[in-house]
Chain A
Amino acid sequence: MYSVATESLIKQAREIKEDELQKFYGRVFKQLHAKDLGGDTVDSLQRLRLILSATKYTREIPSDLVTKLQTILCSSSCPEQLHVLSCSILREIFLSVSSLSNLSHDNRTISYVASVVLSQAGKKEHVLPLCHHLLKSLESRLSEGQISKHALSILSRIISVYPDILTDDQVNLVSRKMVDWLRYASMQQGASVSSGGFFSAPRTRQPAPLTEVDGVVTGDFFTVLCVGQSYTDDQWMNMYTFSMIRNWLLTYDTDGTSNAETDDRSEVDSSVMSMVSATSSSSRLLPPKERLREKAFEYCQRLIEQSDRKALKKTDTELQKACIVEAVSIMDIICGEDPSYVYRAFPCIKALYGRLNGDLAYTRALLPIAQFYLNHSETAAVDSEVVFRQLFGHCPAEQFNEPMLAFEFTQFCLLNASTLQTRVTGYRQSFPNLLKFLAWNSPGLISEFVELLPSLLAPDTAIELLHTILDLPCLAAALDLQHRSACYQTSWDQQGAKVAACLDAFRQPSHRGLFLYILRPEAGTGDTIDRLKMLHEILADMAEIPRVVRCAQVIPVLLHVYFNTVTQMADQKLMNQLMLVLLERSSLLYNIKKFNAEVQRVFSTHLQTLCKLYPPLIVDQSRELLDFASSPSNIYSKEDFYTHVVWVIGEYLSVSYDPRCSVELITSFFESLEAVLFEITQVRQSASPPSFSPRLITVLMTTLAKLATRSQDLIPRASLFLSKMRLFARSAPVIACYSEEDTEEIITRAHELINLLKLPNVAQFVLAPAAGVDGPRWHRDTNTSLPQSMRTVSTLLQRHSSLLPT
């Protein structure tokens, strides 16, 4: 496909020398002025286009060449290829504003001219002439053949960038034309000129009737789902109009202002006289905007009926799906503007839902229907529970592997997150299902889920959600197995043998419960399972497949979002539960490379946050924390997290944070940590080098000192122990393992702590300050601040200096 030849051609185009280029320009100019614009000219123009587009920097081309190209662009007698080429070349260079407006606006070339104008237009003023020309062509009573087919597409593009470019009158004008095309297009096929074979003269056949997509002769007005051998010009305009009507309505019909009756009414009558069909006479009296709404609504209803037919061609089946989505969306917009349409719309939408529900091929079309229900079911007092139960309960579980559906589903949730949270009862319970989309395609959907996750957090399912997030890679593995199992996939990809073993395990009845849990559709059956470790072991061989690895990579960010959200809503009970989960799951994680370390890092950060928010947690969970801190095995498997646990103990285990903190509690923590520190710093001949970082030593030492200042009986023990640290730091294995700076740091820190402990009150102030000491009040309030106290003391000492012994 992309070959060396292609690459070298691009390089040549980029690196062409200036003088060669100028010669080339000259040659092109001459060729364009020749009488006969032949194949050579086309070749040259193609090369010129390549040279201009191959580089991101602008090239100047001579103005006479530019003028010639502009002439070609606007000349209706040139062959199409020259139009296309000159158009694409002019898009690559810069035209002055004046030359933009000079481009003549002939109907047959307007579309190409518009391409150039739109590519250059940096401001609204640049497109005004083009816009006016288009409006003029729509206004005059030209037959459709003389209006450019692309008129509406160009207009749609202009208003998508500059919506305020049209005045109200102009909006009405275009609305009227759109009504004509949408609703009053010809009902018969276009006249086709057939050659009639070799012997007979060309003759035009009688126009045949149009058919629906299933071949039945059509009986109602023309839509994009009507089939004919060839189409008339206004039927083409019907198609172009429908293609842009949603954009139009979104721009001009959703500002919420009601359109007061204007005196356009008489004009409405006359413009419609040409093509009258059997609609209610009252609609003819509506102002243009309302009339367009009415006709668009009828068009959409008809499309929905037409999409029930079984199309003969696959293209048409796909088009029917797209039409359903578009029609429902347009009806949604219209009902939003005028609630009186809701009562007309709902029977249609309900019937449509009944038809499509359960048909997996049409799930994507269910989303706009769900949006409609969300927006309007209250107005119509229609029950929407069933729709959402189906949507959240079944779709993700059955179709998690369809990338387009997953994306659209997630976008739907994101767009409506606040409404879904409050009005759809099953929404927050359905997170196990929704997360299946993320597990299957983590890199593609993570940014959406980062925003979506807070809406899925509810206090009663928060813990289950945390467990689910931690086991998301398991879910990815399980979904992969489920998918392979369902597809009878026997293709031997790179992990063939390992995956086969897991597949067998997946199919075993004894493991059914485990997999049923992990693949469950909704929350509420339990925070987690006892045999989680077993599930991890069964899936161990899947830990290296790309899907699982990518899933594991997004977990840290998801956890951060989770904790940042949950800490804002958590009460005491929930915080306790969260702490327990942190302690428990730090050793119960699916074994993927780097996953453990990353999750621990997140846990450490949020352990600190939780304790800072609610210091009594330490006393509440003292037993678990004591168990955790007393096992040296925790150091070897999760040093980072262990270090943080020790740190929070030192920081928050104090009477000033929790009155229940007794001397016995402090002593028991002290003794456990002392024992751990003793064990890991034993200086023996046969000792192996320490496998933990120096930071653990310093944190342990500091924590022990902190605890000692709070229960001052422990100070002698602490000092004794700290004095042994020098020996440890100077032992051979340690010197071999730690850097010079680290060993110095350990010794210095031990020394500082010993000295500090000699002055218990100062030590208390430094190591265990009361809460709020870092607040400004300590230093500013003249009654309580330290400087004041010091001043008082020194004054006292000075004043009574005569009393001091000389």
Chain B
Amino acid sequence: MVVCFLIHTVSPVNALSAGESRILYARVFRPETGDARDFTPEQRRLMQKEKLHIVARQVQSAVTLSLEASGNPCPEAVLGEEAAALGEAECGVFSLGNAELFPDRSVVLWLSVQSLAFTLVCGPHENLLLAEGTIRNIARHCLEELRLLGPGTEMLLKSDRVDATLHRLLPHGQLLFLNHRFAFTLDKEIASYGSK
């Protein structure tokens, strides 16, 4: 099952200093048990947030190295060119090592679209083919509905749309085997979200 889902910045962004990665959206599915030790809820929350930042920074360096090695220039797609941006998106995966951040040897799957990355942290024996399809689907929804290719701030204020998308495509971190009809029905529900 998926441990968490993140949307965060990757390549150097004008608004941020180098090496810094800003998390725009985070959803953790696995309860933070704090390794069964007694922590206060505040401490557990702080631990969780810091773990997410560590993951985001690791993804950032993985994305940077991948782009550097492939030597492909980053295409600048604009609003309306979501499909093209997704087509050019780079995908990668690495493992988080033994129980460093999350129990079990988790696997991090990332999809980078220009200066943002969509990251899934999965359990050790996850079906990565399914995870890859899911993350692309979620990214497509986010790009289209939140106008991520533009400079606006919808991502922050309307992040409940991401919640609704995850609620359907990744309920409680469960990857779903959706054929095109199941997906179509869920897409329709997501599209009608928010309109009363």
A residues apposed to B, CB below 8 Å: 1-7, 9-10, 13, 42-43, 46-47, 49-50, 53, 56-58, 79-81, 84-85, 87-88, 94, 111-112, 114-115, 118-123, 127, 150, 153-154, 156-157, 160-161, 213, 224-231, 236, 239-240, 242-244, 246-247, 250, 313, 315-316, 318-319, 321-323, 325-326, 329, 364-365, 403-404, 407-408, 411, 441, 443-444, 447-448, 491, 493-495, 545-547, 550
Contacts and interface: CB of A to CB of B under 8 A. Distances in A.
Nearest to B46: A56
A244 B177 contact: no
A321 B129 CA distance: 7
Given A46-B157, A243-B175, A111 B31 contact: no
Given A46-B160, A157-B173, A157-B174, A119 B28 contact: yes
A316 B180 contact: yes
B13 to A, nearest CB: 5
B128 A247 contact: no
B45 A58 contact: yes
Contact of B163 (A88, A323, A443): A88
Contact of A230 (B15, B130, B180, B185): B185
Interface in B92-118: 92-95, 97, 107, 114-116
Contacts of A127: 31
A625 B41 CA distance: 65
Interface string B19-45: 000101010111111100001011011
A593 B49 CA distance: 39
A122 B31 contact: yes
B81 interface: no
B94 A407 contact: yes
A6 B153 contact: yes
Given A318-B129, A404-B128, A550-B65, A84 B160 contact: yes
Given A239-B176, A443-B62, A49 B171 contact: no
Contact of A161 (B33, B129, B179): B33
Contacts of A81: 160, 164, 193-194, 196
Contact of B93 (A224, A325, A404): A404
B130 to A, nearest CB: 4
A111 B171 contact: yes
Contacts of B132: 404
Given A1-B114, A3-B152, A122-B32, 20 more contacts: A1-B115, A1-B116, A2-B9, A4-B14, A6-B153, A7-B16, A56-B49, A79-B196, A80-B164, A94-B45, A157-B173, A224-B177, A231-B181, A240-B174, A319-B133, A407-B93, A407-B95, A443-B65, A444-B65, A546-B71
Contacts of A94: 41-42, 45
Contacts of B62: 443-444
A558 B44 CA distance: 37
B18 interface: no
Contacts of B46: 56-58
A247 B164 CA distance: 24
A506 to B, nearest CB: 17
B172 interface: yes
B22 A322 contact: no
19 contacts: A1-B13, A1-B149, A2-B24, A6-B24, A6-B151, A80-B164, A88-B159, A112-B167, A118-B31, A120-B41, A150-B172, A160-B123, A230-B181, A239-B178, A243-B175, A319-B178, A404-B128, A404-B129, A407-B107
Given A6-B153, A6-B155, A161-B33, A550 B69 contact: yes
A84 B9 CA distance: 25
Contacts of B49: 56
A518 to B, nearest CB: 19
User: Across chains A and B, which 7 residue pairs bring their CB atoms closest together, nearest first?
Assistant: A56-B49, A3-B151, A493-B71, A153-B174, A7-B15, A322-B130, A224-B177
B34 A404 contact: no
A228 B181 contact: yes
Contacts of A404: 91, 93, 128-129, 132
B158 to A, nearest CB: 7
Nearest to B43: A58
Q: How large is the interface on B (under 10, 10 to 19, 20 to 34, 35 or more residues)?
A: 35 or more
Contact of B179 (A57, A153, A213, A494): A213
Contact of A243 (B152, B157, B176): B176
B183 interface: yes
B95 A322 contact: no
B129 A227 contact: no
B86 interface: no
A184 B163 CA distance: 32
Given A323-B177, A546-B71, A120 B31 contact: yes
A248 B95 CA distance: 23
A368 to B, nearest CB: 9
B148 interface: yes
Nearest to A406: B93
A50 B156 CA distance: 7
Contacts of A85: 160
B137 to A, nearest CB: 9
B116 A2 contact: yes
Contacts of B148: 1
Contact of A6 (B15, B149, B177, B181): B15
A246 B65 CA distance: 34
A672 to B, nearest CB: 46
Contacts of B116: 1-2
Nearest to B15: A7
Nearest to B196: A79
Contacts of A118: 29, 31, 172
B177 A239 contact: yes
Contacts of A47: 157
Contacts of A315: 133, 178-180, 183
B120 to A, nearest CB: 13
A49 B182 CA distance: 30
Contacts of B88: none
Contacts of B50: 56
B1 interface: yes
B127 A322 contact: yes
A87 to B, nearest CB: 7
B157 A50 contact: yes
